[in-house]
Structure 1
Amino acid sequence: MLDPKTLEEFGAKMSALLANSPTKDIEKNAKAMLGGLFGKLDLVTREEFDIQAQLLARTRERLQALEARVEALEKTRSGQ
């Protein structure tokens, strides 16, 4: 059976090895590259998108209500 201290040492050595590996640099460079690319695009945040979707839904509801009022007014006017 393995000693817990040995496992901890092994884990610490692996963490140190991975922290110093080139994968961290690649990840860092990829994030910077993607950040620059996304910065050039005309994107909105999820929060901004959700706000605009809610605004559109309310606008559609108001439009439908106004259309119903116009239709009702036209019916009463044509009935006179």
Structure 2
Amino acid sequence: MLDPKKLEEIAKNISDAIPPGVKTMAGEAENRVKQVLQAQLSKLDLVTREEFDVQSQVLIRTREKLEALEARLAALETPEEK
């Protein structure tokens, strides 16, 4: 297994070897890509995972209540035996 400290050291060495102008260009490109992605994602009608999970739980509870009401209705609709 690779040692995380060794990987960090290798990454730092590579980063240090890159000329400053290229680093600046790469940083600017990364920032621009992030901006474009954020702009495009904000146009989509998305919900957060938390919001999705909350709505899933609400749906489960609603289904349980509906099933209970259907069972009660079915019991009321059956003729009582004498």
TM-score by length of 2: 0.69
State the partner residue of 1:37.
40
Deviation at 1:24, TM superposition (A): 3.0
Find the residue that maps to 1:32 and give its secondary structure: helix
Assess, with a 3 A threshold, how the Cα gap between structure 1 residues 18 and 56 changes in structure 2: closer, same or farther. farther
User: What is the percentage of aligned positions where both structures have the same residue?
Assistant: 45
What do the CA deviations read for 1:21-42 (whole angstroms, capped 9, x no partner)? 6333322211110101111211
- Structure 1 alignment gaps of length 5 or more: 1-6
Query: Alignment partner for residue 54 of structure 2, among 51, 72, 77?
Result: 51
Larger Rg: 1
Q: How many pairs does the alignment contain?
A: 69
Structure 1 stretches of 4+ moved >6 Å: none
Residues 1-80 of structure 1: pairs in structure 2 closer than 5 A: 11=13, 14-16=14-16, 17=18, 20=23, 22-75=25-78, 78-79=79-80
Find the residue that maps to 2:64 and give its secondary structure: helix
TM-score by length of 1: 0.70
What do the CA deviations read for 1:6-25 (whole angstroms, capped 9, x no partner)? x88x81xx213177163333
